[in-house]
Structure 1
């Protein structure tokens, strides 16, 4: 089984650019979709871990839907802090896995890996949280099965060293209890997140938690605690997770763009 992970697409209404007119997020997402479709072998599915659009409007979700339509494999969506639950579930109503009301949390069954989606959105805020209701739901879902599992969510449950993101926009309430829940379930192979616009991996709560670059712009890697929050145009990428019986998940970073090659060694 091969799983692709993309994040932070930040789609605007058609014809508009993000980040004060500097980023054509739609063009970047179109390239990402073409890149995933061209992979051999193709991924079996794609996880899209939030900040799907830039302001949570129906027009943005309609544009996102059109951009994702060419994907040759199913995509599973979760909200980030730039998203809004009701417009997302309305525009993507044919995505039957999305709950009709409440938090956008769900499981995906029937694959070699079980997928469990968590909703960390706090409407109107940049930080995330996992309240008692969301964590009770997770605890119950994980108790149902010992199958190898991926959790995916928008806000990472760990500090990255990028101070502004950790201090002002991180996962606040619920991170400690989430760690305790995850530690009780050694079948959790990965916790996959977005939000940070960078490729980061860390050993966390007895498993591995990871983020992925944005399909468009990336946060500047500056580990100075006083550094301001800035962005640049390092290459976008998708993470690929290949399930290998007897080994588990093997992770790769697949850069999106034309960088020359392949050439024989």
Structure 2
């Protein structure tokens, strides 16, 4: 009995010392208050296992923070990519309308409705530039960047889980949410293209068949649309030359 009591005392003192070191005095006091109901086991920084009435609860707030920060990185990259594409498309079609205006006499023969085509192209360029500016993609990308930088700082902080969860939610409230497709892209990029493992709450995250089909379909549609968008003016300008040589 004395040996058992001595061992219990050592475990009691060790638990309190580790709790104070890992979680700070405020968290340690809260843990001491519940010592009759819980046994605590420190796993690693930011992770704590609670055993209560035979039920094991493991906190993985850092996993959630890490995944959210990576998804916001993908959202930022998409916003920057779409912004660059929109700028390039507006410039490209503006140059297209200028070429039609300069060589109007030549293109009127193969295209009798050239004036109407040129006017429509000019209006489309104007509307497209206004729409692209209205999306505010640059500001959206900057917002996502600020969000994931704050999440990375929070990830590195040594805090109790409850405090870290509150800070995590406060950060998310200050920024726009990402698209569900951004999360799917993270899973596919990380597990398929990079061949790495991904887990949250102790469970492995893997891509599913619908997720993979969605990733492929969206990629094919996006880059197919870009090809049509940038190749069509070239075909339009070269078509008279091609038909002339064919004759």
TM-score range, shorter chain: under 0.3
Task: Judging by fraction of residues, say which structure has more helix.
Answer: 2
Task: Judging by fraction of residues, say which structure has more strand.
Answer: 1
TM-score by length of 1: 0.24
Larger RCO: Structure 1 or Structure 2 (Cα < 8 Å, ≥ 6 residues apart)?
2
TM-score by length of 2: 0.25
